[in-house]
Structures are given as structure tokens and as C-alpha cells.
Chain A
Amino acid sequence: EPEVTQTPSHQVTQMGQEVILRCVPISNHLYFYWYRQILGQKVEFLVSFYNNEISEKSEIFDDQFSVERPDGSNFTLKIRSTKLEDSAMYFCASWQGTYGYTFGSGTRLTVV
């Protein structure tokens, strides 16, 4: 069964550093998403991406966040200057038009 692949599975970074979280969506999917989940809290929508541009973003997705699909396969989330409160699980998802989203297994980001 096709999978959404996320790397790394765990990243530890110093506060103020830039991080890039990587995702390889399912190849024939057209819509891509990033979600995050702070420990013990709900899964929160960050951004959706279609046709090489952001289609919707949440209030969380401020100027510190950016997404891109640099080579037609990878889908990345960049956090420019990480804060302690950015520590969370980050999930990438993709959707092809029929069923529900397919989520990756996540990247656990720890900001110290």
C-alpha cells in the first residue's frame, strides 16, 4: 500500500535555529498538507498546498513557516527560527480525491 514518508523521525534543534521537515507524498496525489500535534493536544491544521501554491493556512502558520515542493516529489516544511513552543509532532498528509487523507508517521521536533 502506498505510503507518505517523513524524515527525519525525530529532530532536536536549538531555539532560534532553522529546521526543514521533509515529506514524500504519494506520487499521484494532488493535495498536500501539514499538521502538528503538541503532546497531549489535538491535531492542528497548519497549511494546505495545491498546484504549487498554498491554498489555505491557519493562524499558526505565520511568517516563520514556509512550505515548498522543490522537485515535484518532496514536500517540505521550514521553520525559520524555532521557538520552544514549536516542539510537537509534525504530520504530512496527501490526498488524491476519493478517500481520506493519507498521513505520514510524523516527525517529532524537540526545540531545546
Chain B
Amino acid sequence: DAKTTQPPSMDCAEGRAANLPCNHSTISGNEYVYWYRQIHSQGPQYIIHGLKNNETNEMASLIITEDRKSSTLILPHATLRDTAVYYCIVREEGGGFKTIFGAGTRLFVKA
């Protein structure tokens, strides 16, 4: 089962930052935090991942607390196309480890 807890849904105004929280209090030292999203019925899309340092790419920023028990995905300027289900996943880095998807957070970006 998924090792993370996320709110089932959130709203965000278009153009504002969307901050999606995730709790992963049982994360182990060699587990990374991954974020994916799924727009409608499309395949999940990788967004970002990190171990303990904050990470940023062209899509989003990932803030991981110092104790690594929680994290926040930040979409700096949400658009209507960012409406999707966002999944926070913890797993070891490596291809041999399966990725388990939970229910995620359904983000609604409103005009």
C-alpha cells in the first residue's frame, strides 16, 4: 500500500501558486519522494523527485522538510491545464522497485 497521505482534493486560482502537501512519516533513509500527475485518463506523468534537498525543475518545486516526514509540491503559477490528480510516492531509487500509486490529490485550477 501507499506510504503517503495526501488531501483528497484542493482548489487553486489560475495564476496563483498551488501548494500540494504530502505526509510520509515512515519514510526510510534510502527512499526518495516522487511526484507524478495524471490528467484525466492519460498515463501518469513524472514531475519531480528528491531525497532530502529541495529540488526545482521547469515544471515544479519540491520542498522536503528537514526530518523528511513531509513534503510540498509547488506549481508556481497554476494554469487550467494543471487540473489533474497529483500523486506523492516514496520509493527507493532504482528500476527494480515498483511504484505504488495511492489515491492522490485532485487539484482543480479555477479561472
Which of A37, A44, A101 has its CB near the most chain B CB atoms (within 10 A)? A101
Task: Count B interface residues, CB 8 Å.
Answer: 20
Asked if A42 meets B96 with Cβ closer than 8 Å, knowing A101-B44, A102-B46, A105-B43, the reply is no
- Distance of A10 Cα from B100 Cα, bound (Å): 25
A43, B101: Cβ atoms under 8 Å? Answer: yes
Contact B34 A89 (CB under 8 A): no
Would you call the interface of chain A mostly helix, strand, loop, or mixed? Answer: strand
Using known A-B contacts A42-B101, A42-B102, A42-B103, determine if residue A101 contacts B46 with beta carbons closer than 8 Å. Answer: yes
- Cβ of A103 within 8 Å of any chain B Cβ, yes or no, is yes
Size of A's binding interface in residues, CB under 8 A: 29
In the complex the two chains form, is B44's CB within 8 Å of A99's CB? no
> Is B41 an interface residue when CB atoms closer than 8 A count as contact?
yes
Question: How far does the alpha carbon of A95 sit from the alpha carbon of B87 in the complex, in Å?
Answer: 18
Q: List 13 A-B contacts (CB under 8 A).
A: A30-B95, A42-B102, A43-B38, A43-B87, A45-B98, A48-B98, A55-B96, A89-B41, A91-B43, A95-B95, A101-B36, A101-B99, A108-B41
**Chain B residues within 8 Å of A, Cβ to Cβ:** 34, 36, 38, 41-47, 49, 87, 95-96, 98-103
